Structure 1
Amino acid sequence: TPTPVIDADHNVLLLLGGFPPNEAAWEPDVTNKAAEAMEEAAKEIYTGPKWRRKAGLDDPVPCRGSHHAKHVGVAMGGGQRYPQNLAHAARNVVIFAGLFGLKSLERIAGWTNMLFMAFAPDLHEYYRAMYAALCDWDQLQQRAKHIRRNFSERHSVFTTATFNFGPVTVTLPHIDFGNLAWGWCAVTALGNFNPDRGGHLVLWDLKLAIRFPPGSTILLPSAILRHSNLQVGPNEQRFSFTQFTPAGIFRWVYNDFRTDKDINAAKSTTPAEREQRKQDRASRWQEGIRMYRKWDGPYGGFNTHAPVLTTLYLHTTLYLH
C-alpha cells in the first residue's frame, strides 16, 4: 500500500510507493525482467575493449558511489546554451533504446507516474506542463536533433533517468543539488537481495532507514534530503532505476527559453523586469512548497485505507541512533 510520510505542516514530503497491490505478476513480469535486462545491458556497456567506451561518459559517479551508472535523457547545465539529450556512444544509444522499450520498465514508469499524480497532483502538473512547453519550443527550432523523451508523456513527466547498473549499487550519503529543490525524484529498487537485511534507503536528516524491497518505488525530494542506501548481502545483486528532472530545465523554461546569463546581458530587459525576477526568486521556495498536498487526519485524506504514520514507523522503518 502506498504510504506517505508527512512533515510537521502535514505536507506529503515523500512517498513510499511500493508496488501495485494485488499484482501477483509484478515480481516475475516486471521486477525480475527489468533486473535481468539491466544486468545484460551492463555486460554490453562495461565489458570489451576500452575503445568501446566514450571517455568520461562511462565513468562511475564518484560522489554517489563506486557502482556503474548512466544518465539518459535531457540535461541542462555545465555551460549548455539550451537543454538537449545527453550524448552517448552509438552502441550505448541502441542499448538504452532497448531498455526503454521494455514493457517491464514502461510499467515501472507508469506506476511511478500514477503515484506522483495521485499524491502530489499540483507538483506533477508543474513537471508535466514544463516538459510539454520545452518539447513545443524544441519542435520549432531549426536543428537536426530534437529532444527525445525516455517514455511517452502518458507514462512519465520526468526528463531524465539514471540506470544504476551495480551489480551492487550502494550509494554514498549525498544530496542531488542539481534537482529542483522542492521537486520529487523517483527511485525504483531492482535485483535479487533480502530487503530485511540490506538495501534500505537511509534518510540521514530524518534519521530513518526505510525497507526498500526489489520492485518497489519511493518518491522523495532528493535535493533537500541527504540519502544513501545500505549494502546488500554476499552473492546478492542490487540495481536501481531513478527518474528526475534537473532544476536547470525548469529555470530555462521559466526564463522564456533563455539562460540567466542571456537575460542579464539582454539590453531589452528593463529594471522593472529585473526587480520582478528578484521577487520571484525570493518567493519561489514558498510557492514550491504549496505544490505539496496536505494529508488530512491521521488515517489519511486521499485514501481512507491508507495506514497511519505510526504503522509506517513500526513496520517499514527503523530509527537510526
Structure 2
Amino acid sequence: MQLLGLFILSLSRESSIGTESRHPLVDADNNILVGLGGFPPDRNGSNWQRDVAKPAAEAMRAAAIDIYTLPRWMRKRYGRSSNRRGGHAAKSVGPSMGGGQPHPQNLSHTPRLLAIFSALFALKCFERIAGWGNTLFEAFSPDLFNYYRTKLTEVCENDPRIRLNFPLKFSVFSTATFNFGPATITLPHIDFRNLAWGWCSITALGDYDPDFGGHLVLWDLKLVIRFPPGSTIFIPSAILRHSNTNIRDHEYRFSFTADVEQSKFTTAAEHERRRRDKERRWNEGVKMFQKWDGPIRTL
C-alpha cells in the first residue's frame, strides 16, 4: 500500500472535522486509510456537546485529579509520568496481549484504578462515545469492523474471565486508553503494539478552542487536522506517526482511545513464524480496507 499520492475530501491542507465534515481520507489505491468522523448532529432535543462531550470531559477532569493525587508509593507507577506519548498519565484498560501474557487477558490494575475506570465506563456519555465510534467504524470499514467483532467474540467465548469495557453491541474494540491530561499533548509516536493494519478510534475531549490548538498531526502524510472537542477520528495508529499540538495555558484537553493491542513479547519460534507470515498477513489485512468509489479532491 502506497502512502504517496494521498487524497482527501477537503479543500485545504489543514483539514477540519466536526458534525458536518465526516469524510474518508484515502491512499493512492483508493483504500480508506483514515476516517474523519466528527460527531452526530443534534436530533430530538439531543445535543452532543451538552449531553456527551462536556460531561465526559468533566468526568475525566475529576478522574485526573484522583489519578494525580494518588499516594506517593502509587504515584511512581500510576501517576504523572513521562511516556512515549507524552508527559501526562495515559492508562489502558481491557483485554490485551501486551505485557508478556501467555494468552489474552485483562490488563492488571490496582482496585483504586479499576474503580476509576468502572465509574467512567458506567456513564452514559462514554457509552454514547463508544456507540458512535462503533457506528462510524462499521460505516468506514465494514470488513475490518467484522474482523474485530469476530476475533473479540472468539476471545470472549474461549475465556469467560475476559471482562469487556463495553458490551460488543457498543464497541468491537478490546482496549481503551484514557489520556488524563489535563493538557494532553502527545509526542510524535506510533502505537507499535496495536494490530498493524488495524484502526484505533480517538475522541478528543475538553475545553479548548480548536482554532488555536489541539490539532491532530499525521507526520507521514504531512497533514494537520483541526480536531474539535467531542470529535472522533480513526487512524491506523501502528503505522502512522501521530501527535497533537499544544493548547493555550487556561485550556484543558483529554482524549479517549479505543484499540486492539497485540503482544510485543514472543518466543524465538513465534518470532520466526511471525517473520515468515509478516508479508502474507499484511497483504491480507490491507484487503480489509474499504475501497472508496466516490468523488475525490486532491490536496
Bigger radius of gyration among the two: 1
1:114 to 129, 135, 158: 135
Q: Is the 8 A contact 1:57 1:88 kept in 2?
A: no
2:197 to 182, 195, 202: 182
Structure 1 residue 280, shift from structure 2 partner: 4.2
1:17 aligns with 2:37: yes
Q: Is the 8 A contact 2:80 2:88 kept in 1?
A: no
1:152 aligns with 2:173: no
Q: SS of the counterpart of 1:247? A: coil
Q: Deviations over 1:232-264 (max 9, x none)?
A: 112000000000001339xxxxxxxxx964976
Relative contact order higher in (CA < 8 Å, ≥ 6 apart): 2
1:289 to 264, 286, 290: 286
The residue that corresponds to 1:232 in the other structure is 247
Q: Is the 8 A contact 2:181 2:252 kept in 1?
A: yes
Q: Is the 8 A contact 1:5 1:309 kept in 2?
A: no
1:248 aligns with 2:263: yes
In structure 2, C-alpha distance between the alignment counterparts of 1:77 and 1:105, rounded to whole Å: 24
Q: SS of the counterpart of 2:253? A: strand
The residue that corresponds to 1:131 in the other structure is 152
In structure 1, C-alpha distance between the alignment counterparts of 2:231 and 2:82, rounded to whole Å: 23
The amino acid across from 2:41 in the alignment is P
List alignment gaps of at least 5 residues for structure 2: 1-20
**Structure 1's 59 and 138: CA in aligned 2 closer, same or farther, altered over 3 A?**
farther
In structure 2, C-alpha distance between the alignment counterparts of 1:98 and 1:169, rounded to whole Å: 21
Q: Deviations over 1:173-205 (max 9, x none)?
A: 011111111100010000000001100000001
The residue that corresponds to 2:110 in the other structure is 89
Q: Is the 8 A contact 1:18 1:215 kept in 2?
A: yes
2:55 to 30, 33, 38: 33
The residue that corresponds to 2:209 in the other structure is 194
The amino acid across from 1:16 in the alignment is L
In structure 1, C-alpha distance between the alignment counterparts of 2:105 and 2:75, rounded to whole Å: 18
In structure 2, C-alpha distance between the alignment counterparts of 1:174 and 1:260, rounded to whole Å: 22
The amino acid across from 1:11 in the alignment is N
Q: Is the 8 A contact 2:93 2:175 kept in 1?
A: yes
Q: Is the 8 A contact 1:54 1:88 kept in 2?
A: no
In structure 1, C-alpha distance between the alignment counterparts of 2:34 and 2:278, rounded to whole Å: 24
Identity %: 56
The amino acid across from 1:14 in the alignment is V
In structure 2, C-alpha distance between the alignment counterparts of 1:100 and 1:236, rounded to whole Å: 24
In structure 2, C-alpha distance between the alignment counterparts of 1:32 and 1:162, rounded to whole Å: 18
In structure 2, C-alpha distance between the alignment counterparts of 1:20 and 1:38, rounded to whole Å: 21
Q: SS of the counterpart of 2:221? A: coil
Q: Is the 8 A contact 2:80 2:87 kept in 1?
A: no
The amino acid across from 2:212 in the alignment is R
TM-score, length-normalised on structure 1? 0.81
In structure 1, C-alpha distance between the alignment counterparts of 2:104 and 2:80, rounded to whole Å: 22
In structure 2, C-alpha distance between the alignment counterparts of 1:54 and 1:64, rounded to whole Å: 18
The residue that corresponds to 1:142 in the other structure is none
Q: Is the 8 A contact 2:100 2:263 kept in 1?
A: no
Q: How many residues align?
A: 277
1:5 aligns with 2:25: yes
In structure 1, C-alpha distance between the alignment counterparts of 2:294 and 2:82, rounded to whole Å: 41
In structure 2, C-alpha distance between the alignment counterparts of 1:309 and 1:243, rounded to whole Å: 29
Q: Is the 8 A contact 1:61 1:69 kept in 2?
A: no
The residue that corresponds to 1:172 in the other structure is 187
Q: Deviations over 1:65-124 (max 9, x none)?
A: 001211111221332211211111111211110100110000000000000011100000
Q: SS of the counterpart of 1:205? A: helix
In structure 1, C-alpha distance between the alignment counterparts of 2:275 and 2:222, rounded to whole Å: 35
The amino acid across from 2:36 in the alignment is L
Structural mapping, 1:194-233, within 5 Å:
194-233=209-248
